């Protein structure tokens, strides 16, 4: 340009034109296949519908999931209880074995237990799955596990999100998280406020590691011992993969009937932090708990991990559930 202004450099031709390409880039070229995602959602919709219960007002695919609380029956003073969580590095075992249904069950059961400790029963659940490249078969397996656990507990899988994020995750890997909402009548909320000196702790057995301690377990088993998921360990009486993928137990079937009776003064879900960090969360100020070790059989997997990793007792009880997945507090006369 002339006439006193600065000269403007000639603008280079777009890369597509310089290279002779006939079309511009698409989202699919960047690694996100919207059509494949929509096909997967069609399959997921059928699975999720199998969990629907009274109160669900929207189908899978809506912007938000609607739920009618009045469909749960007569309510005096309803309180909603919510929680969110993930499966953690237990997912690594699913990647190694190609078994993806159980981690979906783990996620739902973990979340159910987290709201159960306050007396709530589940109403609905939403999931979040993210992976680098969408694998519909893997997603279907994961959601099938979610749906199975939801059906078993009377919880509706009311929605979710499937995110395809190129270059963000390693090939064949994904992340999984969930969000749950439950309901409890105000007078039945369990908050530990009734716990008093002399009350009794009762432990309910776990089904294995549940969803905590996997970073340490994998380091011991795979790095230190050089084992593989298919390796069979005599002490475990099954393969390493089978042991590590044992489904996180839901305590809803055992405890649902006890909540309306007011028989439970407190509950602690033994997750990250083990006994050491979780039991104090429910105790009133000034109280502490005494646990008599040796009063329950510690499953072989924990002994094997402790011996192989040379782990101190304190570290074991702060990392793993040690065979107790839920601790109840009851008054002595109801022991």
The residue out of 135, 163, 188 marking a domain boundary is 188
**Which structural domain range is residue 295 located in?**
200-334
**Cα–Cα dist 19/14, whole Å:** 9
The CATH number of the domain holding residue 262 is 3.90.650.10
Q: Is residue 55 domain-shared with residue 122, that is, in the same domain? A: yes
Specify if 1 maps to a domain: no
Q: Is residue 243 domain-shared with residue 317, that is, in the same domain? A: yes
Annotate 157-181 with DSSP letters as a single string. EEEEEEEE-TTTS-TT-EEEEEEEE
The residue out of 139, 157, 188 marking a domain boundary is 188
**Cα–Cα dist 102/119, whole Å:** 25
Specify if 274 maps to a domain: yes
Q: Is residue 204 domain-shared with residue 184, that is, in the same domain? A: no
Q: Is residue 219 domain-shared with residue 173, that is, in the same domain? A: no
Specify if 12 maps to a domain: no
Task: Classify residue 253 by burial, with Cβ atoms within 10 Å: 0-12, 13-18, 19+.
Answer: exposed
Spell out the per-residue pLDDT of the chain, length 335, in tens: 444 444 444 555 555 455 555 689 999 999 999 998 889 889 999 999 999 999 999 999 899 999 999 999 998 999 999 999 999 999 999 999 999 999 999 999 999 999 999 999 999 999 999 999 999 999 999 999 999 999 999 999 999 999 999 999 999 999 999 999 999 999 999 999 999 999 999 999 999 999 999 999 999 999 999 999 999 999 999 999 999 999 999 999 999 999 999 999 999 999 999 999 999 999 999 999 999 998 999 999 999 999 999 999 999 999 999 999 999 999 987 54
Specify if 98 maps to a domain: yes
The CATH number of the domain holding residue 148 is 3.30.1330.10
Q: Are 217 and 305 in contact (CB under 8 A)?
A: yes
Q: How many domains does the chain have?
A: 2
Specify if 255 maps to a domain: yes
């Amino acid at each position: 340009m002339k006439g006193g202004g600065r000269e403007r450099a000639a603008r280079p031709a777009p890369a597509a034109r310089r290279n002779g390409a006939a079309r511009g880039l698409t989202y699919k070229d960047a690694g996100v296949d919207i059509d494949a995602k929509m096909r997967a959602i069609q399959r997921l919709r059928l699975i999720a519908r199998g969990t629907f219960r009274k109160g669900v007002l929207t189908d899978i695919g809506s912007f938000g999931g609607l739920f009618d609380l009045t469909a749960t029956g007569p309510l005096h003073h309803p309180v909603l209880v919510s929680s969110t969580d993930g499966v953690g590095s237990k997912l690594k075992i699913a990647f190694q074995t190609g078994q993806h249904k159980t981690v979906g069950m783990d996620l739902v059961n973990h979340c159910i237990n987290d709201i159960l400790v306050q007396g709530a029963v589940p109403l609905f659940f939403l999931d979040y799955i993210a992976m680098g490249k969408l694998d519909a078969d893997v997603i279907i397996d994961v959601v099938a596990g979610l749906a199975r656990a939801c059906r078993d507990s009377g919880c509706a899988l009311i929605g979710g999100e499937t995110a395809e994020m190129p270059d963000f995750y390693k090939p064949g890997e994904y992340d999984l998280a969930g969000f749950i909402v439950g309901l409890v009548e105000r007078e039945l909320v369990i908050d530990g406020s009734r716990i008093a000196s002399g009350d009794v702790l009762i432990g309910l057995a776990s089904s294995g590691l549940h969803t905590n301690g996997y970073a340490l377990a994998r380091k011991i088993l795979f790095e230190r011992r050089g084992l593989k998921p298919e390796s069979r360990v005599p002490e475990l009486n099954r393969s390493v993969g089978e042991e590590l993928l044992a489904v996180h137990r839901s305590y809803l079937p055992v405890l649902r009937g006890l909540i309306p009776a007011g028989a439970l003064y407190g509950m602690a879900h033994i997750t990250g932090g083990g006994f050491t960090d979780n039991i104090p969360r429910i105790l009133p100020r000034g109280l502490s708990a005494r646990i008599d070790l040796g009063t329950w059989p510690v499953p072989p997997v924990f002994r094997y991990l402790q011996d192989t990793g040379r782990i101190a007792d304190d570290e074991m009880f702060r990392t793993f559930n040690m065979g107790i997945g839920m601790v109840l507090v009851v008054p002595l006369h109801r022991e």
